[in-house]
Amino acid sequence: MSVLDRFRIDDKVVIVTGASSGLGVAFAKGFAEAGARVVLAARRPDRLEQTASLVESVGGTALSVVTDISQPDQATALVEAAMAEFGQVDVLINNAGVGTAVPATRETPDEFRAVVDINLNGSYWAAQAAGRVMQPGSSIINISSILGITTAGLPQAAYSASKAAISGLTRDLAQQWGSRKGIRVNAIAPGFFKSEMTDTYPDGYLQAMGPRLVLSRTGDPEELAATAIWLASPASGYVTGQTIVVDGGVSIT
């Protein structure tokens, strides 16, 4: 196998959660362009169909499965649907996530739990379901955040806590499933990429973060998709249990 061949993911079956908007759409499109078959999961069926149309427009194959990833039975049903349609699951992108910007003294238990239920628990339920059927050489990629590593001036206790926990979950699943199952588990911690979450930031917030952007710009979602494709491919075959920071340098300032 040549070095370039190690980056190929032709015909792999990839599940992308949170595929109805933002970075999930970028992951779905990127993997389709790289030759993978894509299973799209999210709660909004109309937006899922838009993503499926985008995947098909670049020559890809898509299966849409309406899923609330915070529910363990729906995570299991998602993986079962992928297996029924394609007979395999090679890659899981645990991208589904929500966030709030509520001061800690005013955040309600329900608000905090809702974030953790999707960001952390949902990632675990999906990984658990996928881990039961994945074959050696498969890859799970959890989407964390730089807010699990550093702070960025907003009151985001639930989001930051859930994303910091993703790194611990990643390490533990990597050590459990590495030698026993041959499944690699890694995480990506994105910095500032345009998404539904960044659309809710206060006016001027991203501009105020400017001095922390070492590369002087926000990220291109395709750059994040490329990192995920590397982690899904044999090119990263000796990488597991890691959180790869893709943030333009924010976390070092």
**Which positions are catalytic?**
159
With contact defined as beta carbons under 8 Å apart, do 63 and 38 qualify?
yes
CA neighbours within 13 Å on the CB side: how many for 104?
A: 8
- DSSP result, the chain: --TGGGG--TT-EEEEESTTSHHHHHHHHHHHHTT-EEEEEES-HHHHHHHHHHHHHTT-EEEEEE--TTSHHHHHHHHHHHHHHHS---EEEE---------TTT--HHHHHHHHIIIIIIHHHHHHHHHTTPPTT-EEEEE--GGGTS--SS--HHHHHHHHHHHHHHHHHHHHHHHHH--EEEEEEE-SB-SHHHHTSPTTHHHHTGGG-TTSSPBPHHHHHHHHHHHHSGGGTT--S-EEEESTTGGG-
